[in-house]
Structure 1
Amino acid sequence: MITSIQNDKAKQWHKLKKKKERVRSKTFLIEGFHLIEEAHASNWKIEEFILLEGTDAPGFSTDYPVFIVSPSVFNHISETKTPQGIAAVVRMKASVWESFEKVLLVDAVQDPGNLGTMIRTADAAGFDAVILGENTVDMYNNKVVRSTQGSLFHIPVFQESLLAKIPVLKDEGFTVWASALMNSVPFTAITPDRKVALIIGNEGAGITEEIIHLADHCVKIPIYGKAESLNASVAAGILMYYIKAKA
């Protein structure tokens, strides 16, 4: 059993809280029974289990190396307020581009909870893929992973330059929608085509000007109350469900 945070393994797990180490090792840390079950069921490669002493492991844990740790070590690596006593190191998995028809493009979204919710909602709404543009929070950030509730393991997620990718999507027959408040029309005024790429921008600044100029349609969601705007992930959800239902 590992009882010291100075143990080499404990240090290695703790480093995975930082993007630099995740990129270097091509691994990331997940916590909780649900996420671990989703990763296992989705055939993502689990490198090893980390189990708080006294915690029962799922049956499939026998397929992997298991390290038992003391409370002080588990709390050192955990980023949840009420940890379930189980974590795992997972290897990153490269997504494969296929014949997609509904794609969410995320431009410079910084809030991990927002990004995780967008990925989860894209999965629920039947979108085919998510593309994360530059300056968007790391998809393997612990809060992002938790907010996806396992959808990270279900839907392909790519990290690319949107300025470079959008022209390619257009060549593939995609119509590009941008969620914007200025110079836009109500989203219900447009009937989605079969292939749609939806851009959602930064929580405060919106979509980058160079990117919004590449859009075929700028759409807005009417505000009926006194709120200035909608949360970015809520707006993404409304638009994705509309596009999926009407296309």
Structure 2
Amino acid sequence: MEELTSIHNQHVKDWKKLQTKKFRRQTGEYLLDGWHLVNEAVKAGHHLNQLIGTADQLADHGDLVALADEAYTVTPEIMRHVTDTVTPQGIAAVVDLPDAHQVPASLSGAWLFLDRVQDPGNVGTMVRTADAAGFTGVVVGSRSADIFGPKVVRSMQGSQFHLQLLEGDLRKWVADFKAAGAPVYGTQLNPAAQNFRDIHPGATFALIMGNEGQGMSNELLAQTTANLYIPMRGDAESLNVAVSAGILMFQLNQEL
């Protein structure tokens, strides 16, 4: 096990650069920060390319050290530097970046599509909620937050290991679902849309959530089977997109 004490070490520089989308794509790897995420990766059968931790944390978890190709003992300063976390837990791991452009063998189950959702916390929360609601997968469209950025990864809390997490052209995904006879539901802050409680989609469907400020694109709204809204009893103008997604996902997938 190699011991590192300087933030100028090349390994440390590379771990720091994994905070950028460009370097993640270049290396085909991303960083997991904290024991929960590392353990979720191991439980899901994902390989640990590198395990990074402070001396006390690695000493307490020799089982994980044995699973990694390489293990590095680092200082608390290095942990703060590479994880971009104010109070890191003292453990991180480098794992392979999944192929986010693969095509599923069949379009089945409940799917969430994200149209230009830009806040990393919202994207991560919706992926985590999709996992909790029993969804099969999440497809993130262009101009959304990067699904393997540090803030999204922390917010997902390991749910990326429990469902299919993909990127793609949502217009193509909507067309493919409809061609397979599966309904696709948009979301629209408009009383002329359908009340979400009146919808019973069955086992296979897709739900689209749009941009925090602008909602879904008009092009996608025109493609959907139906567009849904959530009636509100109070005086709030709108709901946070992640809150709305949670309400809709549990309602639409409740019969499975």
Compute the TM-score of the two structures, normalised by the length of structure 1. 0.96
Residues 58 and 210 from structure 1, CA distance in 2 versus in 1: closer, same or farther, beyond 3 angstroms? farther
Alpha-carbon separation, structure 2, partners of 1:112 and 1:98 = 28
Shift of 1:186: 1.2
Alpha-carbon separation, structure 2, partners of 1:236 and 1:151 = 16
Amino acid at match of 2:129: T
SS at match of 2:250: helix
Alpha-carbon separation, structure 1, partners of 2:183 and 2:103 = 21
- Contact kept, 8 Å, 2:120 with 2:151, in 1: the verdict is yes
Query: 1:181-204: per-residue Cα shift (whole Å, max 9, x none)?
Result: 124121112222332110000111
Map of 2:25 onto structure 1: 23
Map of 1:61 onto structure 2: 65
Shift of 1:57: 2.7
Alpha-carbon separation, structure 1, partners of 2:6 and 2:216 = 46
Note the 1:27-176 alignment, pairs <5 A.
Answer: 27-55=29-57, 56-57=60-61, 59-64=63-68, 65-94=70-99, 97-99=104-106, 100-176=108-184
Query: 1:115-172: per-residue Cα shift (whole Å, max 9, x none)?
Result: 1111111111111111111111111011111111111111101100101221111112
Matched, 1:228 2:237: yes
Shift of 1:58: 5.0
Alpha-carbon separation, structure 1, partners of 2:183 and 2:121 = 28
Amino acid at match of 2:87: T
Residues 205 and 58 from structure 1, CA distance in 2 versus in 1: closer, same or farther, beyond 3 angstroms? farther
Shift of 1:9: 0.3
- Contact kept, 8 Å, 1:109 with 1:137, in 2: the verdict is yes
Count of matched residue pairs? 247
Amino acid at match of 1:192: P
Amino acid at match of 1:37: N
SS at match of 2:251: helix
Deviates more, 1:156-165 or 1:187-196: 187-196
SS at match of 2:200: coil
Query: 1:43-72: per-residue Cα shift (whole Å, max 9, x none)?
Result: 122210011232233513212111011122
Residues 72 and 118 from structure 1, CA distance in 2 versus in 1: closer, same or farther, beyond 3 angstroms? same
Task: Give the RMSD, CA atoms, in angstroms.
Answer: 1.4
SS at match of 2:215: coil
Amino acid at match of 1:208: S
Give the gaps of 5 or more residues in structure 1. Answer: none
Shift of 1:96: 5.6
Residues 195 and 67 from structure 1, CA distance in 2 versus in 1: closer, same or farther, beyond 3 angstroms? same
Amino acid at match of 1:157: L
Q: Which runs of 4+ in 1 moved over 3 A?
A: none
Residues 84 and 179 from structure 1, CA distance in 2 versus in 1: closer, same or farther, beyond 3 angstroms? same
Query: 1:83-106: per-residue Cα shift (whole Å, max 9, x none)?
Result: 110000010123661432211111
Alpha-carbon separation, structure 2, partners of 1:229 and 1:112 = 20
